[in-house]
């Protein structure tokens, strides 16, 4: 069902009009995990629009290279790095390489993640470990590596984490990601407290549906049209507005903000009625665990 | 180019940080009447133990922190819908557990009201958000200006803080 024509849908400014000047991150380097595609690439592009140099970290170096090339078109220096954020030595090496090529990393975007619809009983130990540890351990390892380096230099910095809109509700049909994304959100406040005295800020954006080429929703056969009407805002998110909010938390404009989780989901995670559709357990959904296939 | 060029904002309550940021982003502040954006700030009530609080004090906190906010937001939304325009409402106050039980009740109610109105008015293009914070800083002003602007077009029903103690 399309969004009725008489409904009003709030739209963001176009990509060419970022909410901050093009030198707000001048002289700074951001390291973006999973920055080669999707939401990580959107974060990286937003930092680049503010003049940051970008280290694009990914497990897949080809994808990181493609992303880095795309970001470089905005006129900033970029560098792709292969790294699995679950391994402390690889994380340290990635920071070493980023700092050797681009200079000290003063901004960090934790985006690396994996996600797919699956019934809880069908999640193998490997799958559980992969999804939870990329997000939870990866965010811990990258953030602590970043913080130790900033503290050693006696300089502050800013960290932003890509969380998700389902962190306060559970996500039946996606148990591994439900656990992983909430862990990221709940660690925000403690990391912020641990590092407040060092001038390092930590915030998260709990993002709703931002379909893109590499997202599950983006690959949906029927396209994303049918997703628009299910969201109170009347549309899915534009990926650049997610990138902007993520980068915005790291700007001096939000210098006093830390320990916060900002939900950006067009109201998608909120209850929309007292009466709900008939409950169907995920395993009995003909259209799969997420219920939209 | 500011985030709020050609926008009018009715700022109810006192917050120099918010007024400064809104105007810096190009908004025009108006006292009453038609406006594109409603920003509502309350002064924090005195922190008093519940058993030492007179009912009148309790009622005054709920009046200021909840009832009048709802009435203003409702009237704003009706005006905007009648005019065929979207809009934004931003409520600002102290964190839920920062003060007495009166404020805890009002701020908690306001938070869930924010989520509810955000959904009820979503298809009117009217966004509703709340900032519960101790901060009276430029960051608070910038966050409110952001929430008022089209840059926050996909943010509605959100309740956020600013600093560590929020």
Per the CB < 8 A criterion, the answer to whether B41 and B22 are in contact is no
Structure tokens at A39: 């939401």
pLDDT confidence of residue A286: 83
Number of neighbouring beta carbons within 10 Å of residue A209: 22
Structure tokens at A213: 């080429």
Q: Is residue B65 part of a domain?
A: yes
- In which domain, by residue range, is B51 found? 8-160
pLDDT confidence of residue A222: 58
What are the residue boundaries of the structural domains of chain A, listed by start?
29-284
pLDDT confidence of residue A63: 97
How many Cα atoms within 13 Å fall on the side-chain side of residue A127? 14
Pairing verdict, β A105-110 and A157-164: parallel
- Of A11, A244, A267, nearest to B118 by CB-CB distance is A267
Which residues are CB-neighbours of A212 under 8 A, at least 6 positions away?
Answer: A37, A38, A39, A42, A218, A239
* B135/A267 Cβ within 8 A: no
Residues linked to residue A220 through DSSP beta bridges, in sequence order: none
- The CATH superfamily label for domain A29-284 reads NAD(P)-binding Rossmann-like Domain (3.40.50.720)
Give the residue-averaged pLDDT of A109-137: 95
Residues linked to residue A205 through DSSP beta bridges, in sequence order: A162, A262
Residue B115 in contact with partner chain A when CB distance is under 8 A: yes
Q: How far is residue A171 from each of residues A164, A210, B35, B100, measured CA to CA in Å?
A: 10, 17, 39, 35
Number of neighbouring beta carbons within 10 Å of residue A284: 7
Per the CB < 8 A criterion, the answer to whether A218 and A170 are in contact is no
For residues B120 and B135, what is the distance between their CA atoms, to the nearest angstrom?
29
* A192/B139 Cβ within 8 A: no
Give the residue-averaged pLDDT of A13-36: 98
Number of neighbouring beta carbons within 10 Å of residue A161: 27
CA A5 vs. chain centroid, Å, equals 32
Place of tokens 């962190």: A167
The alpha-carbon gap from A263 to the nearest alpha carbon of chain B, in Å, equals: 6
CA diameter of chain A: 57
Q: Is residue B1 part of a domain?
A: no
Residue from A13, A189, A256, A260 to probe the interface with B (highest B Cβ count within 10 Å) = A256
List strands edge to edge, sheet with B37-41: B28-30, B8-12, B37-41, B87-93, B126-132, B159-160
pLDDT at A89 over 80: yes
The residue in chain B having the minimum alpha-carbon distance to the alpha carbon of residue A263 is B158
Q: Is residue B3 part of a domain?
A: no
Structure tokens at B137: 């800083």
Residues linked to residue B91 through DSSP beta bridges, in sequence order: B40, B130
Q: Which residues of chain B have pLDDT under 50?
A: none
Confidence of residue A227 (pLDDT cuts 50, 70, 90): confident
Confidence of residue A217 (pLDDT cuts 50, 70, 90): low
B 73-92 residues inside an 8 A Cβ radius of A? 85-86
Confidence of residue A288 (pLDDT cuts 50, 70, 90): confident
Burial of A31 (0-12, 13-18, 19+ CB in 10 A): buried
Structure tokens at B85: 């325009």
Confidence of residue A2 (pLDDT cuts 50, 70, 90): confident
Which residues are CB-neighbours of A219 under 8 A, at least 6 positions away?
Answer: none
List strands edge to edge, sheet with A157-164: A78-82, A53-58, A29-33, A105-110, A157-164, A200-207, A261-264
pLDDT in tens, B129-144: 999 999 999 999 999 9
For residues A255 and B160, what is the distance between their CA atoms, to the nearest angstrom?
15
For residues A157 and A103, what is the distance between their CA atoms, to the nearest angstrom?
14
Q: How far is residue B153 from each of residues A107, A273, B124, measured CA to CA in Å?
A: 25, 22, 12
For residues B110 and B122, what is the distance between their CA atoms, to the nearest angstrom?
17
* A263/B158 Cβ within 8 A: yes
pLDDT confidence of residue A221: 57
Q: Check the CA dihedral A175-A125-A204-A101 and report its sign.
A: negative
Give the residue-averaged pLDDT of A193-212: 96
Q: Is residue B15 part of a domain?
A: yes
- Of B137, B146, B162, nearest to A248 by CB-CB distance is B146
- Inter-chain contacts counted by CB atoms under 8 A, chains A and B: 118
- Of A256, A260, A262, nearest to B137 by CB-CB distance is A256
The alpha-carbon gap from B115 to the nearest alpha carbon of chain A, in Å, equals: 7
Per the CB < 8 A criterion, the answer to whether B15 and B132 are in contact is no
pLDDT at A219 over 60: no
Per the CB < 8 A criterion, the answer to whether A272 and A232 are in contact is yes
- Of B122, B149, B163, nearest to A232 by CB-CB distance is B122
pLDDT confidence of residue A215: 67
Domain count of the fold of chain B: 1
Residue B147 in contact with partner chain A when CB distance is under 8 A: no
pLDDT confidence of residue A214: 67
The alpha-carbon gap from A28 to the nearest alpha carbon of chain B, in Å, equals: 21
pLDDT at A96 over 80: yes
Burial of A218 (0-12, 13-18, 19+ CB in 10 A): middle
B 1-60 residues inside an 8 A Cβ radius of A? 1, 3
For residues A135 and A187, what is the distance between their CA atoms, to the nearest angstrom?
11
pLDDT confidence of residue B69: 98
For residues A117 and A171, what is the distance between their CA atoms, to the nearest angstrom?
10
pLDDT in tens, A137-194: 999 999 999 999 999 999 999 999 999 999 999 999 999 999 999 999 999 999 999 9
CATH number at residue B76: 3.40.50.720
């Amino acid at each position: 069902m399309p969004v009725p024509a008489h409904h009003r849908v709030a739209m963001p400014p176009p990509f060419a009009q970022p909410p901050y000047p093009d030198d707000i991150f001048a002289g700074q380097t951001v390291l973006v995990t999973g920055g080669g595609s999707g939401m990580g690439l959107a974060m990286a592009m937003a930092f680049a629009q503010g003049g940051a140099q970008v280290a694009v970290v990914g497990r897949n170096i080809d994808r990181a290279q493609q992303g880095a090339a795309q970001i470089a078109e905005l006129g900033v220096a970029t560098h792709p790095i292969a790294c699995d954020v679950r391994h402390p030595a690889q994380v340290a090496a990635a920071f070493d390489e980023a700092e050797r090529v681009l200079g000290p990393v003063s901004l960090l975007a934790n985006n690396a993640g994996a996600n797919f619809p699956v019934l809880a009983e069908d999640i193998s130990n490997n799958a559980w470990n992969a999804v939870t540890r990329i997000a939870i351990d990866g965010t811990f390892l990258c953030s602590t590596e970043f913080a130790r380096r900033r503290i050693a230099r006696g300089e502050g910095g800013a960290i932003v984490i890509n969380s998700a809109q389902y962190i306060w509700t559970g996500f039946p049909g996606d148990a591994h990601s439900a656990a992983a994304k909430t862990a990221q959100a709940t660690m925000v406040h403690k990391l912020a407290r641990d590092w407040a005295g060092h001038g390092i800020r930590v915030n998260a954006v709990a993002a709703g549906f931002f379909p893109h080429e590499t997202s599950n929703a983006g690959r949906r056969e029927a396209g994303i049209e049918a997703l628009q009407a299910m969201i109170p805002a009347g549309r899915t998110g534009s990926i650049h507005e997610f990138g902007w909010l993520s980068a915005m938390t790291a700007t001096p404009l939000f210098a006093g903000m830390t320990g916060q989780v900002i939900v950006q989901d067009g109201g998608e995670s909120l209850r929309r009625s007292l009466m709900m559709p008939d409950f169907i357990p995920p395993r009995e959904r003909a259209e799969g665990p997420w219920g939209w296939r | 180019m500011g985030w709020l060029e050609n926008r009018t904002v009715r700022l109810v309550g006192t917050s120099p940080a918010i007024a400064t940021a809104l105007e810096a982003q190009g908004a025009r502040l108006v006292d009453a009447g038609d406006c594109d954006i409603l920003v509502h700030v309350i002064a924090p009530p005195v922190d008093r133990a519940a058993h030492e609080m007179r009912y009148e004090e309790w009622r005054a906190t709920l009046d200021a922190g909840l009832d009048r906010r709802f009435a203003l937001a409702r009237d704003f939304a009706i005006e905007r819908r009648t005019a065929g325009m979207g809009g934004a409402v931003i409520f600002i106050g102290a964190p839920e557990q920062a003060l007495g039980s009166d404020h805890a009740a009002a701020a908690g109610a306001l938070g869930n009201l924010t989520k509810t109105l955000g959904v009820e008015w979503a298809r009117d293009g009217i966004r509703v958000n709340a900032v519960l914070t101790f901060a009276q800083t430029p960051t608070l002003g910038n966050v409110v200006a952001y929430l008022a602007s089209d840059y926050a077009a996909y943010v509605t029903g959100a309740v956020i803080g600013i600093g560590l103690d929020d």
